[in-house]
Amino acid sequence: MTELREATTLGLLAVCLFLPAHAQVRPTLNVEWIYVNKNLAWTSPPKDPELPQYETSRADLAIFYPSGEFAEGSFEIGRYRGKSAVFLIPNEGYVIWKGTWVRESDTRVTVRKRVVSTEMTVPLTKEPVPGAQVEEPWQLRGMSNGRLAATLKTSVSEYEPLLAISDIDTLSRIINASPEAPR
């Protein structure tokens, strides 16, 4: 009995020592780390007053964690007219990319990412999951207090700071539930 108790104690001690060193605890998501692609094409709310009265758009949200982790998601978002806060529209699907980012200079970061998760009825991407790693230079333009830059530009899109999101916890859960990109 004593041997079993000692073995159990040693096993629990090993687990306790192992977990903190290898568990990845991501900080609570902060809106200051999130950028949204510019010039979104907003669809007006339906004319039927019985239906929700918010406009919608497909948006890419890029998250630059201070740790150097990167996440990006393509989501259907909504907003009520006259309000700046956006929200994720449930059951419309998404694609998640994960990876890392590194500052190369005052005006450039390099993002390495791959598709790690997709939840779409009509695929937005033909990439397999997990996808091949891609490397992209992102240009930093201007300064913004508490932010990486005032705007970010890739070869295909330009991003601006996301000012407000009403369901940041939902975004965080979706991003964190997606598998990590292999390094």
Q: Tell me the average pLDDT across 52-76.
A: 95
Considering the domain boundaries, does residue 9 fall inside one?
Answer: no
Q: Tell me the average pLDDT across 127-146.
A: 89
Overall number of domains in the chain: 1
What is the three-state SS of 90-154? CCCCEEEEEEEEEEEECCEEEEEEEEEEEECCCCCCCCCCCCCCEEEEEEEECCCCCCCCCEEEC
pLDDT of residue 79: 95
**3 pLDDT band (50/70/90 cuts)?**
very low
Structural domain containing residue 92: 31-177
Considering the domain boundaries, does residue 16 fall inside one?
Answer: no
DSSP assignment letter at 88: E
- Helix, strand, or coil (residue 84): coil
Considering the domain boundaries, does residue 26 fall inside one?
Answer: no
Considering the domain boundaries, does residue 101 fall inside one?
Answer: yes
The whole-chain average pLDDT of the chain stands at: 83
pLDDT of residue 129: 74
Considering the domain boundaries, does residue 140 fall inside one?
Answer: yes
Residue 149 tokens read as 């830059």
Residue 73 has pLDDT above 60, yes or no: yes
pTM over 0.85: no
Q: Tell me the average pLDDT across 84-104.
A: 93
> What is the helix (H) or strand (E) element at residue 157, kind and residue range?
none
Residue 30 has pLDDT above 90, yes or no: yes
Considering the domain boundaries, does residue 120 fall inside one?
Answer: yes
Considering the domain boundaries, does residue 20 fall inside one?
Answer: no
Considering the domain boundaries, does residue 7 fall inside one?
Answer: no
Q: Tell me the average pLDDT across 127-154.
A: 91
